[in-house]
Chain A
Amino acid sequence: MGKVLMKGNEVIAEAAVQAGCKYFFGYPITPQSELVAYMARRLPEVGGLFLQAESEIAAINMVYGAAGTGVRVMTSSSSPGFSLKQEGISYLVGSELPAVVVNIVRGGPGLGNIQPAQSDYFQVTKGGGHGDYNIPVLAPASLQEIVELTNEAFDIADRYRTPVILMGDGMLGQMMEPVEFGERTHSELPEKNWATTGTRGDGPRRIITSLELNAQSLETRNAALQKKFARIKENEVRYETYQTDDADYIMVAFGTVARITMNAISKARQEGIKVGLIRPISLWPFPEKPFLETRDVVKGYISVEMSAGQMVEDVRLAVNGHAEVDFYGRTGGVVPTQEEIYQKILSVAGGSRYEHENSF
């Protein structure tokens, strides 16, 4: 099909359609509305259905209904709307229903604004709803990566019968880049014999529910879910490293911030400061391996986020005291500049606290 110049939000929509998603229930909210509008035009072309719901709450529950019939289904929103979907998402987990939920994060908290942000990290990775659960979260950094990760999101959802979150930010959603929708990888996925499609001709009555009044039974159900999360943790971690082999300091950043950080790294390298980058692509399961491999070698890590510091906690957990973990962030929808990040590197590495400590 060749390269096409598209907006991030529309790339998500097109990639979903190409992944066989025929049903989309959405609600307008900047900065993801282009995705909704694209689906309204596109889905009828493939015999699918776009429906605008009366609220994000209604939308996620329509997704629940459609997912229960075994089809690929998606919804998208942005921070405040994503918050409204949390109960529904917990139900999708409890009822083991596959679906893809997109969050194009914007400045918060509260009404906040429509500028890009990453301050929903905790909500998506630590479970924004009630109960013990984790949800695979994929964070693309480029529009081309959106194409691959959207496709993988639907496969992961079907493979494990779980909702999957695609997390971008307002910048990723609104910017345009050339993308190519190449051949989709086809993976073996389990049959959906649990779907409620009516019992005509295909056997016993099926019930989709997350209700379990008996405590021991609910504990058994939870144990099964925990086993599922462990399997996802084992098989679905995704990350990228950049110039970490000889690095004294390693930056940690995801999504668009990772790209800005790489520029800062190049500048620092020119100044002789050996800096690398770990870029989590799956925010959950969080990639621990690259930290285990480097935490006894590097002097420190710097987590860079469009937030007041959320992913940095996972970095600390992975580093577990083996090295310093520092943080640089901007909130409110402010995008950190390359220069700011570079100055942070200087302050940590240049006048490095280590040199001071060892100087006498």
Chain B
Amino acid sequence: MSMKTVFKKTTGLTDNPTHYCPGCTHGIIHRLVGEVLEEMDILEETIGVASVGCSVLSYEYFNCDMTQAAHGRAPAVATGVKRVLPDRFVFTYQGDGDLASIGISEVIHAAARGEKITVIFVNNAIYGMTGGQMAPTTLIGQKTATTPFGRDESIQGLPIKVCEMLSTLDGAAYIERVSAHDVQHIQKAKRAIRRAFETQKKGLGFSMVEILSTCPTNWGLDPYESLEWIKDNMIPAYPLGVYKNKEGAE
């Protein structure tokens, strides 16, 4: 009986096992990006920009040329690369601390300039690498190392909705928020990432996919409960959907 392959690891990822905590959906999102790069056959034309956070080692995992940016500056680094090599594909892979906190200026201006780069924005509502501190996307009431009594609006203000914010910028061509909390949504996330890279390919401008992701370790939940937590808590605060689609891509 010969067997047909239904699923195998993408060549878009290296063979290096990842350092991510058990059950962390960073790994899934890496896979989706790797698969899209492989399926579009652009691995050899792609330069990825790693940010600083849990995904700081992502240059060990994406199977293409990679460069390591300072914390928050990946969109600026990506701008430098893309402007010199307009015919290559350039993406950044950033967490919510990197993108929405220290790097908010860089991502806003990259979008405003319509940089033809793709930003993979992993939103897990917390700083993972440094041990669970509040991020700009931490939910009201969510306990973290720096909001031990739960994020309090009167003290730490309110979460930043990045997709909604960036979609007001005319330079943004494609912005979608997806989630990695179940297989069906993971498949939708992959389609969004594909659309983002297609937007880059057509030179329509800035593209970003925000993926709601888990942090079992710092949320204090097991991997499966963490997926549930996205569904029950994050999605209400961060509604999924396409927030910008300049070309009306299907």
Contact = CB atoms under 8 A, between A and B. Distances in A.
Are chains A and B touching in the complex at the 8 Å CB cutoff? yes
Interface of A: 23, 25, 49, 51, 53-55, 57-59, 61-69, 71, 73, 87-88, 91, 95, 196-201, 205-211
Contacts, number: 126
A198 B45 contact: yes
B87 to A, nearest CB: 9
B223 to A, nearest CB: 25
Given A51-B79, A95-B68, A200-B45, A23 B105 contact: no
A197 B77 contact: no
A54 to B, nearest CB: 4
A154 to B, nearest CB: 16
A200 B44 contact: yes
Given A55-B105, A197-B47, 18 more contacts: A51-B83, A53-B76, A54-B105, A54-B106, A57-B76, A58-B73, A58-B105, A61-B73, A62-B76, A62-B79, A64-B80, A65-B84, A66-B81, A87-B70, A199-B64, A208-B68, A209-B50, A211-B68
A245 to B, nearest CB: 49
Nearest to B70: A91
Contacts of B105: 54-55, 58
Interface in B17-75: 43-47, 49-50, 56-57, 59, 63-70, 73
**Chain B CB within 10 Å — which of A67, A68, A88, A210 has the most?**
A68
Given A197-B88, A205-B63, A49 B47 contact: no
B67 A25 contact: no
Nearest to B43: A199
A67 B67 CA distance: 11
A205 B80 contact: no
A198 B73 contact: no
A189 B68 CA distance: 25
Contacts of B49: 65
Cβ-closest 7 pairs across A and B:
A65-B80, A209-B68, A61-B76, A65-B77, A61-B73, A66-B80, A62-B80
Contacts of A69: 47, 80-81, 84-85
B208 interface: no
B201 interface: no
Contacts of B106: 54, 58, 61
A232 B78 CA distance: 30
A348 B249 CA distance: 78
B231 interface: no
Nearest to B80: A65
Nearest to B105: A54
Contacts of B84: 23, 49, 65-66, 69, 71
**Chain A CB within 10 Å — which of B79, B88, B89 has the most?**
B79
A54 B80 contact: no
A205 B65 contact: yes
B109 interface: yes
Given A66-B80, A66-B84, A209-B50, A196 B65 contact: yes
A99 to B, nearest CB: 10
A198 B88 contact: yes
**Chain B CB within 10 Å — which of A49, A54, A67, A71 has the most?**
A54
Nearest to A94: B68
Contacts of A209: 50, 59, 66-68
Contact of B65 (A53, A64, A73, A197): A197
Contacts of B81: 65-66, 68-69, 196
7 contacts: A58-B73, A62-B76, A65-B49, A68-B80, A73-B80, A87-B70, A199-B43
B44 A199 contact: yes
Nearest to A51: B83
A181 B84 CA distance: 27
A88 B76 CA distance: 11
A198 B64 contact: yes
Contact of A57 (B45, B59, B73, B89): B73
Given A51-B79, A200-B44, A207 B69 contact: no
B167 to A, nearest CB: 19
Contacts of A66: 80-81, 83-84
A71 B66 CA distance: 17
B68 A210 contact: yes
A208 B68 CA distance: 6
Contacts of B82: 65
Nearest to B56: A211
Contacts of A63: 80
A54 B83 contact: no
Nearest to A204: B65
Nearest to A95: B68
